[in-house]
Structure 1
Amino acid sequence: MLTAGDELFSRRGIRAVSVYEVIERSRVARATFYRHFPSKADLVLAFLARREQQWTLGLVKAESERLGDTAEERLLAIFDVFDDWFGGDAFEGCSFISVLLQMGADHPLGSASIGYLENIRAIVREHAEEAGLRDPDGFARSWHILMKGSIVSAHSGASRLRPRIRGHPSRPGRR
């Protein structure tokens, strides 16, 4: 059910997908669906939590830490991760931004999205603190704006950030 919801929500948006479509695609009984997700909002919240695990922690955090030896390199590596993401077949934008824009900041799903976006900014803030920057919170806010802007830009067709933002001579394939 969550996989079906994920596929539908990420391609068509929250408002455009009905519970009936998720039930039909996942091939479960209606009662089974409602036993696990009492409402569509509960399914969307599970979808967002799953996206945080897969995208925020599994891709952005893990890959930037793998690519960067220092805090500064990890910050720059975020855009290398984005560049690979934007150029891949799986790029569909940021679910947190999409849900926030569809539902609005005052809606519980929009509010949840704001929380997930703050978690991404916290990763940036952590790297900024490790780098010894004078204003890690201010830096994280500005860096996060750049991150979100690059996602919106990729949606508009500017999908590649080439040339690479950062390079590391010890990593083959990175400029």
Structure 2
Amino acid sequence: MAHAYDFPPAVEGTSAPSRLTSGRARGRILDAAYELFLQRGIRDVGINELITRAGVAKATFYAHFTSKDELVLAYLERCHQDMTVEAIMAETGRRTEDPTGRLMAIFDVLDGWFRQDDFQACAFVSTMLEMGPAHPLGIASIDYLAQVRAFIRALAEEAGLEQPDVFARSCHILTKGSIISAVEGDREAAIFAKRMAASLIRDHGGDAPMAP
């Protein structure tokens, strides 16, 4: 999910170098990257702009990140903490303990995300499409996306669905497709995807209610 960071630029000075600790400097850089990469993608944002936005010296930037790619990997990890499998697992678990119900709840979680005013595309889908599946950043994005598919497969096994791997691949296509549709402007994409997921569950021998 996207978050707005409204902090004034801070300039490192020789008068109080201890005020900007190593952890705080790294946090500023990541905050700037998180905001700019989500808004504009990876290639469009340069290191100099990131340094200016973070309000750190160039030497400080390179003390924490030896390259832009290394910063992007840290950015993807932050996105992973914000809205990926852990967040989805936790939220679906709060809604129901039934594995079939949790599969359906995935799309309720996505629906809430899509309807946020500051909704941005999934960082992993965006980065993979921008950088390509063979680029190290694309590979990292694919690995994060695979964790969602593994979660879906685990729920499918718990629900006793037939061919849980095939189901997980198919359901994962629905989640990624709904994200793309939401970016296009269809804020009801998750609702339509949920209906298809219910049909998919029944096709694999499960008992899913008809989605509204």
The aligned residue for residue 101 of structure 1 is 129
Match for 2:81 among 30, 34, 53? 53
The aligned residue for residue 12 of structure 1 is 40
The aligned residue for residue 69 of structure 1 is 97
Report deviation, 1:127.
Answer: 0.8
Report deviation, 1:66.
Answer: 1.2
TM-score (norm 1): 0.90
Q: Trace 1:147-158 onto structure 2 (pairs within 5 A).
A: 147-158=175-186
Question: In the alignment, is the contact (CA less than 8 A) between 2:125 and 2:141 conserved in 1?
Answer: yes
Match for 2:111 among 73, 83, 87? 83
The aligned residue for residue 62 of structure 2 is 34
Whichever of the two has the greater Rg, that structure is 2
The aligned residue for residue 23 of structure 1 is 51
Question: In the alignment, is the contact (CA less than 8 A) between 2:150 and 2:168 conserved in 1?
Answer: yes
Q: Distance in 2 between matches of 1:151 and 1:57?
A: 15
The aligned residue for residue 160 of structure 2 is 132
The aligned residue for residue 171 of structure 1 is none
Report deviation, 1:110.
Answer: 0.5
Q: Which moved more, 1:107-116 or 1:64-73?
A: 64-73
Q: Percent identical across equivalent pairs? A: 52
Question: In the alignment, is the contact (CA less than 8 A) between 1:121 and 1:141 conserved in 2?
Answer: yes
TM-score (norm 2): 0.75
Q: Give SS of 1:98's match.
A: helix
Question: In the alignment, is the contact (CA less than 8 A) between 1:59 and 1:81 conserved in 2?
Answer: no
Q: Distance in 2 between matches of 1:57 and 1:145?
A: 15
RMSD: 1.7
Stretches (4+) displaced over 3 A: 161-166
Q: Distance in 1 between matches of 2:47 and 2:77?
A: 18
The aligned residue for residue 143 of structure 1 is 171
Q: Distance in 1 between matches of 2:112 and 2:148?
A: 18
Q: Distance in 1 between matches of 2:177 and 2:191?
A: 16
Report deviation, 1:67.
Answer: 1.3
Q: Give SS of 1:106's match.
A: coil
Amino acid at match of 2:53: R
Q: Give SS of 1:102's match.
A: helix
